Amino acid sequence: MARNANGEGSIYPWKKNGKPAGYKGALSYRDENGQTKRYVAYGRTRKIVKDKLDKARERLDAGAPVRDSKQTIGEWLAYWRATGLAASDRKESTRELYARLSQKHLEAAPFGAIRLDQLKASHIDAMVLAMKAETKPAATEGGEPRRAFADSTVRQVYTVLRAGLDGAVRDGLIARNPATLVARPGVERHEARHLAAGDVAAVLKAAEGSRYYAALALIAATGLRRGEALALSWDRGVVNLDEGWLKVRKTLGRVGKRLDSSEPKTERSRRTVPLSPALVAMLRKHKAAQAAEKLRAGNQWRDSGLVFTNEFGGPVEPRNLLRVVEAAAKAAGVEGVGVHTLRHSVAVAWLECGVHIRAVADLLGHSSIAITGDIYGHTSEQAARSAVDGWSGALGL
């Protein structure tokens, strides 16, 4: 009988039902609790068993479990939702979104029945392809079936899965995350819809008289996100009308059944935005009107300190802003306008006026100029012609 080589571990022939069945190897180790455990491997040849023991030893040396967990993906993700996800520093709205996506598209789906120790990158590829291929009935009779899930939803589901599997690696259930071997699903970028200055002015004109006119005008002039504008307070450290600036420090949005103020999307979303004299004057007028409204409301007024409030001083439901801008756009004869269209419009206007893309990214609170370039990187025909004509003229051509 061949002897075991140094460091090979204990490998010896074994029998099944009294007949030679190959080789058996064993490896002793201590788990995270200091308890002695034994890993046993079987194989047709000594080399197969040795390779299994070597792989187990490599995993142990790397701090990974000797073997991956037999728990299903669905079982693990349900636990992760209640622990790792719930304890994370993600925004509450993000945690709720991740939980919904995990429950619907991962845990309750056939994919969730796969065991962690059997999960391969190809399983994840197949899940992504299946989501992209799934359809739902046509919107109209005789029409073409529509995709069941947008590219953005497919990407979000992948992101949730990858985060959940990171948690499984951290807890020692698997040695590595197979989702890291799968490219993040792409999302086709669509050019942001924007309006010419005349159309923006027409929409704002039609919104005059609305209690949310000042909020819409501020967004149209500064490019604030809707939630950022609605989270502004009269605190002098947030809105300083004497010096003419505001600071974005919070964002307001609906989380479940309640309105919630939270941190902005990214660190670069926390920014200082200058206010023109006209905007300062508008906000002073708005503040005076709010003070008069507070007196009329009496003890029904909720002193939230917000710049933009409902008729009782509470935070504004973001959808109300959308309703106002849609009604104003319809009255102005401008189609397809949302609150974000105002932000897009000022961004494009700044770029076409020659404002450096870095400055535009800073004003918009983008985390990088790459995002600004992706969304607004197109060049108008007039700007392109001006650039070519200008350089040609400088060359004497």
Long-range contacts of 207-213 (CB under 8 A, 24+ apart): 207/324, 207/325, 207/328, 210/324, 210/328, 211/311, 212/308, 212/316, 212/320, 212/321, 212/324
Q: 379: domain CATH number?
A: 1.10.443.10
Please name which of 22, 107, 23, 24 lies closest in space to residue 73, comparing C-alpha atoms: 107
pLDDT value at residue 3? 46
Q: Is residue 390 part of a domain?
A: no
Q: Is residue 4 part of a domain?
A: no
Give the largest CA-CA distance in the chain.
99
What element of type H or E holds 177?
none
What element of type H or E holds 12?
strand 10-16
Whether 171 and 49 map to the same domain: the answer is: no
Q: Is residue 395 part of a domain?
A: no
- CA–CA separation, 307 vs 325, rounded Å? 18
Whether 100 and 130 map to the same domain: the answer is: yes
Share of the chain above pLDDT 70, in %: 92
> How many domains in the chain?
3
- CA–CA separation, 238 vs 248, rounded Å? 7
Whether 229 and 352 map to the same domain: the answer is: yes
Whether 338 and 235 map to the same domain: the answer is: yes
pLDDT value at residue 40? 87
pLDDT value at residue 133? 94
| R_g of the chain computed on alpha carbons | 30
- What letter does residue 233 receive in the DSSP assignment? B
Whether 245 and 380 map to the same domain: the answer is: yes
- CA–CA separation, 207 vs 332, rounded Å? 9
Residue 84: HSE in the Cβ half-sphere, 13 Å Cα cutoff: 18
What element of type H or E holds 314?
none
Q: 103: domain CATH number?
A: 1.10.150.130
| Beta strand pairing call for 36-43 and 135-136 | unpaired
Query: Which residues form the domain of 123?
Result: 73-137+144-181
Burial 65-99 (b: 16+ CB within 10 A, else e): bbebbebbbbbbbbbbbeebbeeeeebebebeebb
Please name which of 211, 118, 124, 198 lies closest in space to residue 160, comparing C-alpha atoms: 124
Over the stretch 150-165, which tens digit does the pLDDT of each residue have? 999 999 999 999 999 9
- CA–CA separation, 349 vs 380, rounded Å? 10
pLDDT value at residue 21? 87
Q: Is residue 274 part of a domain?
A: yes
Whether 169 and 310 map to the same domain: the answer is: no
Whether 313 and 222 map to the same domain: the answer is: yes
Long-range contacts of 201-210 (CB under 8 A, 24+ apart): 202/332, 202/333, 202/334, 203/325, 203/328, 203/329, 203/332, 203/334, 203/337, 203/342, 204/328, 205/332, 206/327, 206/328, 206/329, 206/331, 206/332, 207/324, 207/325, 207/328, 210/324, 210/328
Low-confidence residues of the chain: pLDDT under 50: 1-7
Q: Is residue 394 part of a domain?
A: no
Q: Is residue 1 part of a domain?
A: no
Whether 151 and 224 map to the same domain: the answer is: no
What are the two backbone dihedrals, phi and then psi, of residue 146, each rounded to the nearest 5 degrees? -105, 155
Whether 225 and 369 map to the same domain: the answer is: yes
What are the two backbone dihedrals, phi and then psi, of residue 251, each rounded to the nearest 5 degrees? -140, 140
pLDDT value at residue 2? 47
Give CA separation, 230 vs 283, 320, 389, in Å: 14, 11, 44
End residue of a domain, out of 41, 61, 81: 61
Whether 266 and 362 map to the same domain: the answer is: yes
Q: Is residue 314 part of a domain?
A: yes
Q: To which residue do tokens 């919904």 refer?
A: 100
Whether 220 and 363 map to the same domain: the answer is: yes
C-alpha of 262 from chain center: 15
Would you tell me how many other CB atoms lie within 10 Å of the CB of residue 353?
9
Q: Are 365 and 269 in contact (CB under 8 A)?
A: yes
Whether 252 and 376 map to the same domain: the answer is: yes
- What letter does residue 176 receive in the DSSP assignment? S
- What does the block give as tokens for 119? 């999960």
pLDDT value at residue 392? 65
Q: Is residue 189 part of a domain?
A: no
Strand partners, 240: 245
Give the contacts of 55 (CB within 8 A, at least 6 positions apart): none
Would you tell me how many other CB atoms lie within 10 Å of the CB of residue 170?
12
